[in-house]
Amino acid sequence: MLIGLTLAYITLTIVLVTAQVVQAKAVKEADLLKMQGTINNLWVFWTTLSVGGLNLGFGLREMGLCSPKNAVNALSKTILVMGLVGLAYWAMGFSLMFAKSDNQLIGVRGWFFASESMTALGLKDWPIGLPINLFLMYQMVLAAIPALIVSGAMAERTRFLDFLLFSLVLGGVIYPITGYWLKGEGWLAQMGFRDFGGSTLIHGVGGWSALVGVALLGPRQGRYLKAKAQKIPGLSLIWAGVGSLMITLGGICLNAGATLKITDDIGAIALKTYLAAVVSGLVATLITCLRGQKAEFNRLLSGLIGGVVAIAAGAQEVSIVGAILIGAVAGSLTVYAVGIMERLHLDDPTESISIHLFCGIWGTLALGFLSLKDGLIAGEVRLVIVALIGIISVGLFVIITSSITWLTLKWALGLRLSLVKEIKGLDQEVHGLQAESNQEQGKEK
């Protein structure tokens, strides 16, 4: 409802502003610039709210796919991550990622959001750019996504405090440093690396971090018996479906909103993201059926999200046919990557690694292949090479820094729950309740 009212407000504001411009006999150029700046502000504010809904979708998906004994913990982590990562990003992440610097590796000024203007960070002030507070808020909700990817992959057996502390490091240090590399003065950006909606920066960083954590943590009790993968029932595929749709729709808004202003290609970006998502979901379902299995609902859901992840890097540059192709490959990846994870005995309850890491890598490479500007389809190979360098560099950095962080936490606090606590569930051990008995407890009171 809030999002709907916000959209209505934005639409009404744009109509009123446009009417004022048409009716004015003589409008100064500065006034037009301010009007455009105000409209851009509303557009980014709407995108920020949409990405906030996407973040909530991660919590609902995790809640639906994990055991009822961990349902409340899944939502609790989502809310706490958004708050903790927001604080870490405000304190140092924003400066590490955007502060104007003399090097190509890391931002070095403006700690604790000390800057009062975008110019001090090497960016453009309003009305040409965005107000610094709005820009920070938008970046804060994006910074939470990698940690939420990790949350789902390591669900049901990770110590609560360990995960929250890792989220601080990921959102406040690891993600911002990679962001600096890929934007503005960063060394990868200077090479020509491009990632419009975050296939590598957001999804890849989260996916690599999750892979390290899952490898160190080990599978849930009962996940692998006699070297064979066993299904562990979740709370409800309905909640998983609602969460997945929120992620998909939020991803469409994220890609379209990555323009950070009203442009004439917003519709095309949204259309290509939508097509990539639905084609990916269809292909994932079709492959599952062709393999002699039933049309599993979660295959469709994972395919939808995988398509959004894969198209993110090239949503502004590929054609509609290219977007459909990207979605088709992403859909197959979400199916076969699960098999790879199972053969390696890696346990990812929400299939976050299969979706965000595998599809993020494919999406970044696909931009190099299918960019109409300077991709392989246009007769140039340089963008493919730069994409490979970016994927490998970001992957190695995240693997090393995540490993150091996880191993430090494991040494200091112990990374995994004890067997008894894992069996009881985090809802009881951490929060003192169980989601499946909430209704009965309420009746007793």
Looking at the structure of the chain, the number of domains it has is 1
**What pLDDT is attached to residue 423?**
87
Which residues, given as ranges, of the chain have pLDDT below 50?
A: 1, 8, 12, 15, 22, 25-26, 438-445
User: Can you tell me the distance from the alpha carbon of 86 to that of 175, in angstroms, rounded to the nearest whole number?
Assistant: 12
User: Can you tell me the distance from the alpha carbon of 186 to that of 107, in angstroms, rounded to the nearest whole number?
Assistant: 9
Structure tokens at 368: 């190099």
Write out the residue range of the structural domain in which residue 361 sits: 2-444
**What pLDDT is attached to residue 114?**
58
pTM of the model: 0.90
**What pLDDT is attached to residue 98?**
84
For the four alpha carbons of 20, 21, 24 and 26, in that order, the dihedral sign comes to: positive
Q: Give a three-class secondary structure readout of the chain.
A: CHHHHHHHHHHHHHHHHHHHHHHCCCCCHHHHHHHHHHHHHHHHHHHHHHHHHHHHHHHHHHHHHCCHHHHHHHHHHHHHHHHHHHHHHHHHHHHHHHCCCCCCCCCCCCHHHCCCCCHHHCCCCCCCCCCHHHHHHHHHHHHHHHHHHHHHHCCCCECHHHHHHHHHHHHHHHHHHHHHHHCCCCHHHHHCCCCCCCHHHHHHHHHHHHHHHHHHHCCCCCCEECCEECCCCCCCHHHHHHHHHHHHHHHHHHHHHCCCCCCCCHHHHHHHHHHHHHHHHHHHHHHHHHCCCCCCHHHHHHHHHHHHHHHCCCCCCCCHHHHHHHHHHHHHHHHHHHHHHHHCCCCCCCCHHHHHHHHHHHHHHHHHHHCCCCCHHHCCCHHHHHHHHHHHHHHHHHHHHHHHHHHHHHHHHCCECCHHHHHHCHHHHCCCCCHHHHHHHHHHC
The CATH number assigned to the domain holding 78 equals 1.10.3430.10
User: Can you tell me the distance from the alpha carbon of 334 to that of 356, in angstroms, rounded to the nearest whole number?
Assistant: 9
